[in-house]
Amino acid sequence: MSESTDIQWLDQITWNDQGLVPAIAQDKTTNEILMVAWMNREALSLTVAEGRAVYWSRSRTKLWRKGEESGHVQSVSEIRLDCDDDVIILKIEQLGGIACHTGRRSCFFKVLRDGQWQAVEPVLKDPKAIYSQSTLDQKKS
């Protein structure tokens, strides 16, 4: 990632009423969708500057660097903007192999079968071994 001193590219994004844009984290090699989060201007600018995913936490109302507590950092190799300029895709390398706070590789681990959501992906690491209890409580809200 290279930092640009010209931030006009930020003005080309269609931010929602809260000044946010959804950001999809996609594995750069497999194209697997790992998670969706939100970014504000500062989060996206920091992502570009640092080369790692920085998001805006709506529940905590603050910036968070993916992996700051878990160690499961997302190294960003490419940033894409959709045709309507209102969704970001981050092509990433998921360090540690876990993107989801449930301890799974992807946040998209549930499949609709027979009218019920069923978990079909394994827990790779117990969330209690990754996060503090207060962090787990915040993630549930």
**In whole numbers, what is the pLDDT of the chain averaged over residues?**
91
Give the other-Cβ count within 10 Å of 113's Cβ: 9
pLDDT beyond 50 at 141: no
Q: What is the pLDDT of residue 134?
A: 54
- CATH number of the structural domain spanning residue 88: 3.10.20.810
Confidence of residue 7 (pLDDT cuts 50, 70, 90): confident
pLDDT digits (tens, 9 = 90+) for 75-115: 999 999 999 999 999 999 999 999 999 999 999 999 999 99
Asked if residue 2 belongs to a domain, the reply is no
Q: Are 36 and 23 in contact (CB under 8 A)?
A: yes
Asked if residue 3 belongs to a domain, the reply is no
CA distances from 73 to 12, 18, 42, 66 (A): 27, 26, 18, 5
Give one word for 19, left, alpha or beta, with left for phi > 0 and alpha for psi -120 to 50.
left
Asked if residue 43 belongs to a domain, the reply is yes
And the tokens for 139?
A: 């993630």
Q: Are 2 and 69 in contact (CB under 8 A)?
A: no
Q: Are 54 and 46 in contact (CB under 8 A)?
A: yes
pLDDT digits (tens, 9 = 90+) for 50-81: 999 999 999 999 999 999 989 999 999 999 99
The number of folded domains in the chain is 1
Give the other-Cβ count within 10 Å of 55's Cβ: 24
Confidence of residue 3 (pLDDT cuts 50, 70, 90): very low
Asked if residue 102 belongs to a domain, the reply is yes
Confidence of residue 13 (pLDDT cuts 50, 70, 90): very high
Asked if residue 46 belongs to a domain, the reply is yes
* Residues of the domain holding 16: 8-140
- Which three-class secondary structure state does DSSP give residue 4? coil
Asked if residue 57 belongs to a domain, the reply is yes
DSSP codes of every residue in 36-64: EEEE-HHHHHHHHHHSB-EEEETTTTEEE
